[in-house]
Amino acid sequence: MLTLLKLLKDGRFHSGEALGAALGISRSAVWKQLQHLEAELNLPIHKVRGKGYQLASPLILLDADEILTSTPSSDWPVHISESIDSTNAEALRLIGEGQAAPFLVLAEQQTAGRGRRGRNWVSPFAQNIYYSLVLRIEGGLRQLEGLSLVVGLAVMQALRASGVQNAGLKWPNDVLVGQKKIAGILLELVGDPADICHVVLGIGINVNMRNAVDVDQQWTSVQLETGAPVNRNQLVAHLGGQLKDYLDRHRVYGFAALQKEWELNHLWQGRSASIIAGLNQIDGVVLGVDGQGALRLSVDGVETIFSGGELSLRLRDDS
C-alpha cells in the first residue's frame, strides 16, 4: 500500500490503468488497495469517472535523507516506520536489541501512542510528528534534572520558527497556544539513573491535523495556527537542531542555566492553579520552577515544591 500511496501523494489525479501499470497489478487490485488505504489510514480519496483517483490533499511523507541533509549538525541515525504501536515503544525495543545511542525513531502513524499518565495520543497517518530521541546518559542524576523542561524549550522554539509565534510552555511537559495543546513530551528511562542509563525523549507535535474526534482536551496544530500545511521533514530537522543546542547547554551547565528562560516562557507564571495528585488537590499561585525543574507553588503564602511524573497542573477558575 505504501507504494500506491507514494504514487498518489502529489495530490493529482491518476487513472486506475496507470496505477495498475506502475504497480504491476490489475485495476481491480488497485481498487482494493485504495479501499484499504481509506479504511486503514483514514485517507480520503476522490474518485472521478474519466479522471481516476486523487488524494483529498497532497502528502509529504517522512524522508530520512531530507531530514539529515537539513540538519547538518546532527549525525543521529533515523529509523522511520510506516505504522507502529508507538515511537517510544520502538525506541525501547531498539535499546534492548543493542542499538547504539543516540538515535531517532519516527513514524507516520502510531496505533498505541502514549501521553503522560497513561493517556492515549491520537496519531493519524502522515499528519503529525511522532518522535523519539534516545540518549545515553553517563553523568548521573544531574544530567536528568529538568530534562523534560529543556526538551519543551526546544520544541517551543522549533514551533515558533515554523510560524506559531504564540507557542508557550506549561509545566511540566506541554507546549500550548493559549489554552490549546499543540505538543506533548513523554520521557522514559532504562537503566540506573544514578550511573549509566538510556533516556527516551518522546515528542508528539500536532502539525497538519485539522480535525480529530478522539482528543479529550482543547488542541490545535501548526496548520490551524498558520493557515498553511507544513513540511514535516523540515520541522523534524529544525527540532533536531534546537534539541542539540539545548541538550548541549544542559549537559555543560545544568538546568539552572536555563531556569529563567523557561520561566519567561511559562504561560501560567503568576497564575492561580491547582496541583492534582490522584484524588488530592492543592491550590496556590505559580511562582516558577527551581534549579532542578520542580514546580514552585505559593500555598497559603508559603513556597512549596512539587515534582513527579504523576502530577498534573490545572488553572483555577478564578485565575
Give the cell for residue 299.
500555598
Instruction: Give the dihedral of Cα atoms 267, 268, 270, 275; nearest 10 deg.
Output: -160
Residue 2 one-letter amino acid: L
| 116 carries an active-site annotation | yes
Residue 13 CB partners (closer than 8 Å, separation 6+):
46, 48, 51, 52, 53, 54
| 210 carries an active-site annotation | no
End-to-end CA distance of the chain: 50
Instruction: Give the dihedral of Cα atoms 261, 264, 266, 272; nearest 10 deg.
Output: 140
Give the cell for residue 137.
546518559
Tell the burial category of 119 from Cβ atoms under 10 Å away from its Cβ (0-12, 13-18, 19+): middle
CA separation for the pair 201, 198 (Å, rounded): 10
| 251 carries an active-site annotation | no
CA separation for the pair 41, 53 (Å, rounded): 16
Of residues 114, 170, 181, 244, which has the active-site annotation? Answer: 181
Of residues 116, 170, 232, 244, which has the active-site annotation? Answer: 116
CA separation for the pair 274, 36 (Å, rounded): 46
Of residues 119, 160, 251, 314, which has the active-site annotation? Answer: 314
CA separation for the pair 68, 136 (Å, rounded): 20
Asked whether 174 and 184 are in contact (CB, 8 A), the reply is: yes
Please count the helices (runs of H) and the strands (runs of E) in the chain. 9, 14
Residues catalogued as catalytic: 116, 181, 314
